[in-house]
Amino acid sequence: MFDALAERLAAVFSRLRGKGTLTEADVTEGLREIRIALLEADVHYKVVKELVARIRDRAVGENVLESLTPGQHVVKIVRDELAETMGAERTALRLERRPSVVLLVGLQGSGKTTTAAKLANALRKDGRKPMLVAADVYRPAAIDQLEKLGRDLEIPVVSRTSSDPVKIAVSGVARAKEQLRDVVVIDTAGRLQIDEEMMREIADIAVAVSPDEKLLVADAMTGQEAVAVATAFHDRVGLTGVILTKMDGDARGGAALSIRHATGRPIVYVGTGEKIDGLEPFHPQRMADRILGMGDVLTLIEQAEAQMDAAKAEHLVEQIRKNRFTLQDFLEQLEEMRKLGPLSQILDRLPGAAKLMKGRAAEADEGEIQKTLAILRSMTLEERANPSIIGGSRKKRIARGSGTKVRDVNSVLARYEEAKRALKWAGTRRGKERFPADLLGSS
């Protein structure tokens, strides 16, 4: 989402860092370009004005111009102010009651129903026992969708207990108490646009269930329109936070930088994909790093710890120690890496990713990974365990089965041999020490 903004800012900082000394005129010119970049990213003009003013005050007033690395000082100031604009620190949900109630509101099409299931799933991973409530009586498809997601996640869903959304919400909270569920996530009805009837209905539900959190689910792709929606909801129902969806899209990202300024309420989660685990806690400082092309390695590590199979990692360590790294191990490692999401998302969290992804390189590499997986899966277990038996006829069969060519099979086998040699060398260097997760993941 922030690719264009990150590229523009990187160009500005590159020029500033390239100067041995900075003058106030250099800073002024850099800030002018930063202002243009932010406005083009659809950041609200009031946010841009205040942000640039704060950067100017610090850049000119903290002896930055006289420092040995003035360009780096300016980058740090911009990073700090971007993070401050988005909330400075991570804001967690306040769920102290039993059961706590989370009310989700928003316009139709913002991804509210899917987000309800994602949030319940995230809360369950945190040790909670959530319950979902389908209070959108106007769209039967929304109820069906939430019921299906609940079955898939094995999370109970309360729905169709009444034709009145308020009564459904109340019955959901009562059911949660009976079943000793500690969090209730209520999906309310949306509209194509804000209207008085919708606001009144949400207000009535809020009065009836006294939610601990009232979260707006807003589509980040709508830019400044998301800010207008957030302001309207906050004025009527008093939001406690925002969940921005579709942050993996190609919009300009202005909503993330503007919405807290407009409402005074924090972004608590961001949606990063269609998968049910595509919901991440929002960390302003980490997001500022990503905007400035510094990556977000901490989030990547957290995802790896949550998604990757520790038993398989231990098995791989033993295979490497004994010099028995096979194509089956190679396949399993690629499949583990796929759990972290598309390669473009992984690269987006690595420092300097903008350069790696320029020219759609990430999409090309994504295709290569898919091709490699297809080739490995077309092999028999015997072939993956003992690659030396793969001769010409077997290569032709594997190529046909994977929809590729023999040269592609040869390429995969060559990369496997390179990985095997590298891991053997690493095993020799480290002896009996435990292999770090970053080495295993990179293989």
Mean pLDDT (whole number) for 357-378: 70
The identity of residue 204, as a single letter, is D
- Predicted confidence at residue 434, as pLDDT, reads 41
- Predicted confidence at residue 319, as pLDDT, reads 63
Q: Residue 223: pLDDT above 70?
A: yes
The identity of residue 366, as a single letter, is E
Contacts of residue 369, Cβ cutoff 8 Å, sequence gap at least 6: 334, 337, 338, 343
User: Other C-beta atoms within 10 Å of 156: how many?
Assistant: 18
Q: Residue 1: pLDDT above 70?
A: no
DSSP 348-394: HTSTTHHHHHGGGHHHHHHHHHHHHHHHHHTS-HHHHH-GGG--HHH
Mean pLDDT (whole number) for 16-35: 82
Give the position of tokens 């957030």.
230
**Residue 365 corresponds to which tokens in the numbers above?**
């590499």
Distance CA 49, CA 27 (A): 16
Distance CA 357, CA 365 (A): 10
Q: Give the pLDDT band (50/70/90) at residue 438.
A: very low
Query: For residues 427 and 189, which has the higher predicted lDDT (pLDDT)?
Result: 189
Q: Residue 124: pLDDT above 60?
A: yes
Q: What are the tens digits of pLDDT across the range 334-364?
A: 777 766 666 556 555 555 444 544 544 444 4
Q: Give the pLDDT band (50/70/90) at residue 322.
A: low
- Predicted confidence at residue 431, as pLDDT, reads 44
Distance CA 201, CA 194 (A): 12
Q: Which domains does the chain have, with CATH numbers?
A: 3-86 (1.20.120.140), 100-290 (3.40.50.300), 301-442 (1.10.260.30)
Q: Is the pTM of this model over 0.85?
A: no
- Predicted confidence at residue 62, as pLDDT, reads 59
- Predicted confidence at residue 129, as pLDDT, reads 96
CA distances in angstroms from 429 to 187, 318, 418, listed in the order given? 55, 15, 17
